[in-house]
Amino acid sequence: MHYTVYECPSCRHIDYVQGPRADHIQCGFCGQTVDSSMFRASVESEEAASSSVTTLVSKRLLSERRIRPKRGLGVRRRVLDIVSSQIDLNRGRATTIRAVLSESVDAGIDSEKALKFLERLDQEGIVRIQNDRVELAEAADRG
């Protein structure tokens, strides 16, 4: 038996099909035609085809992880969102630094990093920190 391992250019699905050698095949996921330029391997056993698919998927996942930035991109925004949601839960009243840091840790943000970004938001005038209480600057200006 002959198996062709392919990657669909349309949906990026990686799979294999059994059958004679061909110049094109149909994606088993989205149905698009996949030409021979997207064939990744040609093997003689189903076990080898399955192993090739697993290897290709693993390599793609590893390469996608390397592309992601190493910095805490979005942490500032996430901390601000936590402050906003806690103020909403408090019916518009200020929240505590402790509550913000606790929720930040639950969200996978280190407490020291969250505190650093909270202080930065205070310096930028987006939030106000007074006596261990945090509120949005626009709400503080109104009240």
Residues 6+ apart with CB under 8 A from 37: none
- Domain ranges within the chain, ordered by starting residue: 3-67, 75-142
Q: For every residue of 31-42, which 3-state class applies, written as one string? A: CCEEEHHHEEEE
pLDDT band at 65 (very low <50, low <70, confident <90, very high): low
Q: What is the mean pLDDT of residues 90-110?
A: 91
Closest by CA position to 100, among listed 78, 71, 72, 120: 78
Place of tokens 């994606």: 27
**pLDDT for res 70:** 46
pLDDT at 73 over 80: no
Range with the poorest average pLDDT among 1-15, 56-70, 111-125: 56-70
**pLDDT for res 3:** 92
**pLDDT for res 130:** 92
pLDDT tens digits, 8-62:
888 889 999 998 888 888 898 888 998 888 888 889 999 999 999 988 888 877 7
Top CATH class, 75-142: mainly alpha
Instruction: Give the SS3 label for residue 29.
Output: coil
pLDDT at 113 over 90: yes
**pLDDT for res 64:** 64
pLDDT tens digits, 124-143:
999 999 999 999 887 555 55
pLDDT at 71 over 80: no
> How much is the pTM?
0.48
Query: Between vectors from CA 7 to CA 17 and to CA 38, what angle results, nearest 5°?
Result: 95
